[in-house]
């Protein structure tokens, strides 16, 4: 029986699972009569407006924000399909003319009298009349839908709840770990639009950033993994928590100067009502230039140094390296200035995100990788530099320093 189950079980496909997740997100929660009625009303109203090409993004965006059924609303928004649109637009022009002129118009007489000039007049009528027609259709659609869903529930009792998306059991351990990590920040089900956005941001960042998998792969080659770990410039702590979820790190520490991110990191480490369970972690506020770091087996410096002046970068690097226990290691991801076009692209990207304050650094100042390895070697580390740009156009490298 077990063998038959293994044969029939589909091979895991991330693309297929992402499509399932999107569909679940679009449909949302329980399809109550009220929620169904509002979804249809929204779709009919937007679909009635003469904003062709904008119907679908508007419907999806508003439905996701207000947690309506985007699929149902999208079907309703197709009221302006090629077969019904001529009748819909004619009605909107007539209603617009009545609102503006106090009477309906004879379209054939208007065209004969004014010729092509009538187009601008009809366009004005169209934009005036479309909200009124849209509201009328929305009201009718909402009443019919409410009655239909309520009647269906009376005949076939159901709470209308939909199961939230769940990763299949055969998902790779890496993907399961990113899902658990993201879930520590925001529950994937029964959450607000802002929370769902945060959940997907954490999940997708961990899945797509090459450094996460590089560090994990490196850790798998070390007996006992990374041991006690300290992440300098940890942000909200996603990377150290992920490494802990994978069983590749023991106690984790993190330091960052952003209060909000540190609060998020500690909340994620605590978990929610023991689901997921809390982990041994300590995230604290501090400035990387003078923070007191706990002695650790592994110290991470990921995308941090270039926000400081060259002399400050050396100070931070020496402080971080000094926290590494004998036999431990320091892992640094930074852009290398000696990688040609890749270096130019990295500088442009970092300056943009610093300008818009997405990254809260003070400045952007990259240095050659060899400048950093020289400092580490002076402190007794053996260094290796590996490309860490993955499929991106940037010049990131991973510096591995072993004491």
Residues in a beta bridge with 385: 399
pLDDT at 190: 58
Q: Is 366 left (phi over 0), alpha (psi -120 to 50) or beta?
A: beta
Extents of the domains making up the chain: 2-155, 173-402
What is the DSSP code string of 115-155? Answer: GGGHHHHHHHHHHHHHHHHHHHHHHHHHHHHHHHHHHHHHH
Whole-number Å distance between alpha carbons of 207 and 162 = 26
Whole-number Å distance between alpha carbons of 168 and 25 = 17
pLDDT at 171: 93
Exposed e or buried b per residue across 153-165, where buried means at least 16 C-beta atoms within 10 angstroms of its C-beta: eeeeeeeeeeeeb
Q: Are 195 and 268 in contact (CB under 8 A)?
A: no
pLDDT at 399: 97
**Tens digit of each residue's pLDDT (9 = 90 or more) over 70-94:** 999 999 999 989 899 989 998 998 8
Just give the CATH number of 173-402. 3.40.50.150
Whole-number Å distance between alpha carbons of 211 and 225 = 16
**Tens digit of each residue's pLDDT (9 = 90 or more) over 216-233:** 999 999 998 999 999 999
pLDDT at 138: 96
Whole-number Å distance between alpha carbons of 231 and 265 = 12
pLDDT at 56: 95
Q: Low-confidence residues of the chain, pLDDT below 50?
A: 1, 6-7, 112
What is the pTM (predicted TM-score) of this model?
Answer: 0.79
pLDDT at 1: 45
Measured CA to CA in angstroms, residue 181 lies from 95, 276, 285, 303 at distances of 54, 9, 21, 20
Angle value at C-alpha 10, between 7 and 13, nearest 5 degrees: 145
pLDDT at 360: 53
Whole-number Å distance between alpha carbons of 265 and 185 = 8
**Among residues 320, 331, 311, which one has the least CA distance to residue 371?**
311
């Amino acid at each position: 029986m077990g063998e038959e189950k293994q044969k029939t079980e589909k091979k895991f496909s991330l693309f297929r699972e992402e499509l399932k997740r999107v569909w679940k997100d679009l449909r949302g929660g329980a399809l109550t009569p009220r929620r169904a009625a509002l979804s249809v009303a929204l779709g009919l109203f937007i679909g009635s407006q003469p904003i062709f090409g904008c119907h679908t993004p508007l419907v999806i965006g508003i439905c996701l924000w207000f947690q309506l059924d985007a699929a149902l609303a999208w079907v309703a928004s197709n009221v302006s399909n090629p077969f019904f649109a001529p009748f819909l637009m004619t009605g909107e022009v007539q209603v617009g003319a009545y609102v503006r002129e106090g009477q309906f118009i004879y379209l054939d007489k208007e065209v004969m009298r004014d010729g092509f000039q009538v187009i601008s007049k009809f366009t004005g009528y169209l934009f005036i009349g479309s909200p009124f027609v849209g509201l009328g259709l929305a009201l009718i659609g909402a009443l019919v839908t409410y009655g239909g869903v309520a009647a269906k529930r009376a005949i076939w009792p159901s709470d209308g709840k939909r199961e939230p998306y769940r990763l299949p059991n055969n998902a790779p351990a890496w993907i399961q770990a990113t899902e658990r990590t993201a879930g520590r920040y925001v529950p994937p089900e029964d959450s607000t639009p802002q929370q769902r956005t945060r959940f997907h941001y954490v999940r997708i960042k961990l899945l797509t950033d090459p450094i996460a998998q590089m560090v994990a792969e490196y850790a798998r080659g070390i007996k006992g993994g990374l041991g006690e770990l300290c992440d300098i410039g940890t942000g909200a702590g996603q990377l150290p928590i992920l490494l802990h979820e994978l069983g590749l790190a023991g106690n984790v520490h993190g330091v960052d100067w952003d209060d909000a991110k540190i609060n998020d990191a500690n909340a994620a480490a605590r978990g929610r009502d023991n689901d997921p369970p809390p982990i041994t972690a300590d995230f604290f506020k501090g400035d990387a230039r003078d923070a007191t770091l706990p002695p650790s087996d592994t110290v991470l410096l990921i995308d941090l140094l270039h926000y400081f002046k060259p002399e400050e970068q050396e100070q931070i690097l020496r402080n971080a390296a000094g926290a590494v226990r004998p036999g431990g290691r320091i892992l640094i991801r930074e852009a290398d200035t000696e990688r040609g076009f890749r270096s130019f692209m990295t500088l442009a990207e970092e300056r943009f995100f610093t300008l818009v304050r997405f990254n809260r650094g003070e400045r952007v100042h990259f240095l050659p990788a060899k400048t950093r390895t020289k400092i580490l070697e002076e402190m007794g580390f053996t260094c290796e530099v590996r490309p860490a740009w993955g499929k991106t156009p940037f010049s990131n490298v991973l510096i591995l320093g072993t004491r």
